[in-house]
């Protein structure tokens, strides 16, 4: 991510779009609905980097849990206590 004109602790809506792969209009909609924590500075929507990162990690965790629930991925805890994920070789397709 680049340093925005508001300082290194902020990112623009375009940067959020680029980083997440969400359409820019979706980023604006999610910010308007309060799904992504953001605010207006100098008439421009931008996001505090640390708050965005917390939100994005939460979204990724939700996605991983859903994939695991659907049986598309599986996980285990290795000897170092880290959770590891893998795609099962055989899985039922619906």
pLDDT tens per residue across all 94 residues of the chain = 555 555 668 899 999 999 999 999 999 999 999 999 888 877 888 999 999 999 999 999 999 999 999 999 999 999 999 999 999 887 565 5
Q: What is the pTM of this model?
A: 0.73
Q: What are phi and psi of 70, to 5 degrees?
A: -80, -5
pLDDT at residue number 87: 92
Return d(Cα 78, Cα 16) in angstroms, integer: 33
pLDDT at residue number 36: 92
Helix then strand count (H, E) for the chain reads 3, 5
Burial of 63 (0-12, 13-18, 19+ CB in 10 A): exposed
Structure tokens at 2: 């680049």
**pLDDT per position as a tens digit, 68-91:** 999 999 999 999 999 999 998 875
pLDDT at residue number 2: 54
Q: What is the DSSP letter of 90?
A: S
The radius of gyration of the chain's CA atoms, rounded to the nearest angstrom, is: 17
pLDDT at residue number 19: 93
Count of residues in the chain: 94
């Amino acid at each position: 991510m680049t340093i925005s004109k508001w300082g290194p602790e902020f990112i623009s809506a375009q940067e959020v779009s680029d980083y997440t792969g969400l359409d820019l209009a979706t980023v604006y909609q999610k910010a308007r609905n309060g799904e992504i924590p953001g605010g207006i500075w100098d008439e421009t929507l931008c996001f505090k980097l640390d708050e965005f990162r917390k939100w994005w990690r939460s979204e990724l965790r939700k996605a991983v849990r859903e994939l695991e629930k659907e049986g598309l991925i599986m996980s285990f805890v290795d000897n170092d206590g880290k959770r590891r994920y893998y795609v099962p070789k055989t899985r039922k397709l619906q």
